[in-house]
Amino acid sequence: MADINGYLSLSDQSLNKWDVFHIAMELEIRRDWDLYLMIGLTLLLIPIIYIFPDSVLRTVIGLPFLLFFPGYLAIAALFPRADDLDSIERVALSFGLSIAITPLIGFGLNYTPWGIRLDPILFSISGFILIVALVALQRRGAVLEPYLPFDPFVTVESVWRDFQKEQGLDKALSVILALSILSSVVALAYVIAFPRQGESFTEFYILGPDGKASGYPNQLIVEENATIIIGLANHEHRTVNYTIVIWLVNISFEDNQTQIHELYFFEKIGPIELDHVPVDIEGPWKKQWEMNYTFSIDTLFGEESQWRGKIWFSLYKEDHAREYTELQDYSNDEESVQSILDGVKNKRLSLNLNLRVSTATEFYVLDGDMQPLTSPLNLTENQNLTLTFGISNHMLRTVNYSIVIWMVNSSTDANGTNITELYHIDTLGPIELEHISPASGQNFTDQWNLSYNLSVNTTFGGDPWNGTVIFDLHIDEIPEPYVPLDDYANDDDSVERVTDILEKLRPGITRSAVLNVEV
């Protein structure tokens, strides 16, 4: 203070007040350069992280930002006097206290809506450093003999002098402390110079056709196209040639044992050469390689109406050169079976989707505007209602179809469906259709359609008559020679068939209807 006061006394005679202010500020900064340096580096680190995230400055400043600044500033605020702690103790406690403060801040953030993420951690620790630095500046300026940062030219001499003053146990502890700090610095430098290689792994995923983990095609008609998205990302720290082998598997799990009953080779994708990409845990997820994979299955593997199993994707992290025969059963091939078992046991990356492939017939009825028929149908005696019938055959064989039209009066109770009136309106067919593949991206496959005028010349004694119109589809069955407008409510076979349609046990289309008397 004497030097400063003397200098200011001189300045009062020869310098103006602005010069005095500048000199005083310079002296304060020179006195508290350590605190101002840490404030400046903290403010500099924030734009570096966001503008130059891969810069070496991020590591150079970031490490002391986490491991030294918080503790040093806390010590400066708690012990501002020079005789509170010596230099060695301050440095050692700065590291130790920083290691305690930084996790505590993270622990507190874990219970906030922001969580432990880059932004909240960065700004929370920065806020702590700035606040404690301001407190340290205030407290250091309020004491008569504050602790001042080291002078690089005299630091070694001062430390050695402090060390020589110590005796016995204190001197031994100082040596141990100095060696600990030195070894920590050496270890830290080694970690920075030779960073440990991160975990090696591969991202392997399947998404639905809309790019989300939903909407997977699990139920298909024979030869119907289905699309999924297959994705890979290489985090193996080396270039990898991937191969994806796709199987159709009939698998079961019994008594903790995996049983493979059928194993049909479907397709092989690859090799797919991908370079290593680092994991970015701070930014948004980015894809590396994706493929829109469209497939269809044109066989039921000997089953009559449907095949159930899984479509299985086995990933090889090397060029898998073996060739397979498409749709051949490899359930007796040891290597192929083992690849599936390895996937079950998580020894090989694999993904699978449940799959049911079945034969089917598309049967639809459209109104006059070529839209699906809705309920209720408003009919008037002796007037035409224009409909369009459509059938598409996906049964893997030629099929003869017939359509029987009924008007039904029924009720439901605890015993089931009761039919009181069952009037036959018309029979269409036989209609012979060969197998065709389902159309992609369309509501209906256009194979056969017929424009039909539905007309009834009676209301069956009702005014109006309320009931249900049923369009009964016969598949490879020849309908009986029904008499139009006759009541078959006492015919057991007809009642059973129509009851199954009403209870959705048999294919057919039902629509409620109102039959009005002609005016």
Residue 191 CA to its chain's centroid (Å): 33
Please report the DSSP string for 337-358 in residue order: HHHHHHHHTTSS-EEEEEEEEE
Q: CA of 220: how far to CAs of 251, 397, 443, in Å?
A: 19, 17, 15
Closest CA to 140 of 244, 58, 31: 31
Q: CA of 516: how far to CAs of 104, 406, 421, 459, in Å?
A: 80, 17, 17, 7
509 three-state secondary structure: strand
d(CA 401, CA 450): 13
> What value, to the nearest 5°, has the Cα angle with vertex 296 and ends 294 and 300?
160
What pLDDT does 48 receive?
87
What pLDDT does 6 receive?
37
What pLDDT does 268 receive?
94
| 298-305 contact pairs (CB < 8 A, 24+) | 298/222, 298/223, 298/437, 299/222, 299/327, 299/396, 300/222, 300/357, 300/358, 300/359, 300/396, 301/248, 301/262, 301/264, 305/358, 305/359
Reply yes or no: is the peptide bond before residue 146 cis, omega within 30 of 0: no
Closest CA to 313 of 239, 205, 392, 450: 205
Residue 386 CA to its chain's centroid (Å): 49
Q: For residue 338, give the amino acid letter.
A: Q
172-186: b (≥16 Cβ within 10 Å) or e: eebeeeeeeeeeeee
Segments of the chain scoring below 70 in pLDDT: 1-31, 150-167, 185, 188-198, 282-283, 519
Hunting for tokens 């008594």 — which residue is that? 255
Residue 480 CA to its chain's centroid (Å): 56
d(CA 22, CA 79): 28
pTM over cut 0.85: no
**Residue 228 CB coordination number (10 Å):** 20
Hunting for tokens 């370079």 — which residue is that? 275
| 137 membership: H or E segment, kind and range | helix 118-142
d(CA 282, CA 260): 42
Q: Could you report the per-residue pLDDT of 29-71, keeping only the tens digit for each?
A: 556 778 888 898 999 988 888 888 777 788 788 888 888 889 9
What pLDDT does 173 receive?
77
d(CA 299, CA 303): 9
Q: CA of 287: how far to CAs of 15, 205, 278, 279, 284, in Å?
A: 66, 11, 12, 11, 10
Domains and CATH numbers, the chain: 32-193 (no CATH), 201-358 (2.60.40.10), 360-516 (2.60.40)
Q: Could you report the per-residue pLDDT of 392-418, keeping only the tens digit for each?
A: 998 888 999 999 999 999 998 888 889
Closest CA to 106 of 97, 94, 118: 118
Closest CA to 427 of 405, 448, 449: 405
